[in-house]
Structure 1
Amino acid sequence: MPYTDKNGYVPHTMEEVMQLILLDINDQFNTSYSYDQFVGTGFYKFFYVLAQRIVALDTSFAEVYAKLQDYVRFMNEQINAPAVNPERALKILRTAGFTASVRPVTQDTAGELAFCVDLDDKLPNYATQKQRVLDILKTCTAGGIYFAGTETGTSILSNGQAMPYAFFLPARYEVSLKLTIHASASSGLAVPLESQIKQTLADNLAAMYRMGVDFEPERYFTVSRDASYAAAVKLEYQKETGGAWSDEVYKADFKDLFVFNQERMETVVL
């Protein structure tokens, strides 16, 4: 049965098997049948059933080999897969009610894991919440991995060994927002109340913004989605009170957390 690196084992066809049988018959019985002559002989009828079985076995072998290749490929992926899946850890933390982010891996941080979890260390139940986070990190990661972070502690493995874990608390910024709306004279639509505009902006931020992601002002309030009554809109942010207003993309660290409040939102309609 022929083999190629691209297609693996390729089963013989019926004609190919019968051609091989023909060669053996001519050699064994000192005959010189052509294939067309062979088709009309008793030999052909006798060996046809055998050829069908050979083709069937070839096909079965090729299928088994293909499945074996899939299995080897799957096992190699399992072996080469990282011991830690950060996205899985983030999902479990979020399911448990924690807002979290993970530091992207760079050449300087290779071999380290760094999570940021939105906890308030001034609350009375902080110690309990901190231990819950440490226990979750234990269940989502392999033992012996180094964790970077300011909030450190241990969690007990199934063998009774206490392993160290850590995470960071977020850097919070009480961000102010200014939304400038240029009303469209041709739309014929009325501009909503300021409270309604602020609520739409607040809802968009709650749905789309996450800790540790770049803040892209143009994503959170658009003409097409939120303001068909407007010709143009511009959202600006002020990271710190008294700081400069900007509508540029803010390149966030994984610990950065913008905190929004409608009381710090300003709308300007032109």
Structure 2
Amino acid sequence: MSFDIENGYSPRTEEDILSDLVDSVNFNYKTSYTPETFVGTNLHKLYYPGMQLIMGVENGIGSIAAKVQDYISYINKTIAYPKSSPNGIMNEIKNKCNIGASVMPINNVDDRGKCYIACDVDKSAAGYDELKQNIINTIGECVSAGCAFNGTETGIFVGNNGQNFQIAYEIPTEVNMTVKIVATVSRNSKDFIPIENVVSNLYQEKFKAAYRLGFDFEPDAYLCKDDLPWASNISVTYQVNGAGDFTGNVYKAAYNQKIVLTSVSTDVIDE
């Protein structure tokens, strides 16, 4: 039986087992059977019960393997970070409110007991008041009592004992990036070279798929050689908030900073 990462163990069909049996018989007995001429022979009748046994065993193994894969998948879905951890808080807000969130890591002794959370929300959107309370409730369910919160968006979470807790979170600050991509066409490439907009759009799609609130901006991480197989060199630089020099260094973002690609342009150089 075969195995691959995606499908697991795949039991052989009766035709596959018969073909393997015919190959073995021909090798050991110096015969030249085909599956069609082998069926009905005395050797086929002799080995037929064994073929059925093999099919049963392989189907059983395949079924067990599938159940194990399902169980592992189930366990992976149920395993969760503790709700009070930064990842646990972010996951709960995402799952319950469908909102991206970021929690500031506590690296300073003076910040112990404080909770800094940013939530990627639009205050002008319809239904924000209800969403805000849902976020407040979700944070309150995750964070231990006694924490001090920071942020402009405040509200009351009522605990199971009826006690009121003041909860707060921040609205992220946008950091606007102007991105320039320079792709040099390889002299060895025979591939079709796309127009510049295709490369720019691809970069934005890859960034959107990889980015999360509070993540650093890593300009070279969103396009690779596999994305542009015709390019011998790919250079990505950016400018912050429309000012200063363009750079290719990693932008180290704060937990409450949201990276926004305001412009992505591409220059394809065909030397």
Q: Which TM-score band applies after superposition, normalised by the shorter structure?
A: 0.5 to 0.7
Q: CA deviation at 1:99?
A: 0.7
Counterpart of 2:19 in structure 1 is none
Q: CA deviation at 1:83?
A: 8.4
Larger Rg over CA atoms: 1
- Superposed, 1:59-208 pairs within 5 Å as 84-95=84-95, 96-107=97-108, 108-208=110-210
Cα deviation digits, residues 72-115 of structure 1 (max 9, x gap): xxxxxxxxxx9822211111111131011110102231221111
Contact 1:168 1:255 in 2 (8 A): yes
Task: Give me the TM-score of the superposition, normalised by structure 2.
Answer: 0.65
Q: Superposition RMSD on alpha carbons, in Å?
A: 1.9
Cα deviation digits, residues 8-66 of structure 1 (max 9, x gap): xxxxxxxxxxxxxxxxxxxxxxxxxxxxxxxxxxxxxxxxxxxxxxxxxxxxxxxxxxx
Contact 2:196 2:268 in 1 (8 A): no
Q: CA deviation at 1:242?
A: 4.0
| Unaligned residue ranges in structure 1 (runs of 5+) | 1-81
| Unaligned residue ranges in structure 2 (runs of 5+) | 1-81
- Amino acid across the alignment from 1:150: T
Contact 2:197 2:266 in 1 (8 A): no
* Percent of aligned pairs with the same amino acid: 28
Change (3 A) 1:217 1:83: closer
- Amino acid across the alignment from 2:147: I
- Other structure's SS at 2:130 match: helix
- Other structure's SS at 2:156 match: strand
- How many Å separate the matches in 2 of 1:175 and 1:227? 22
Say if 2:251 is the partner of 1:258: no
Contact 2:159 2:165 in 1 (8 A): yes
Moved over 3 A (4+): none
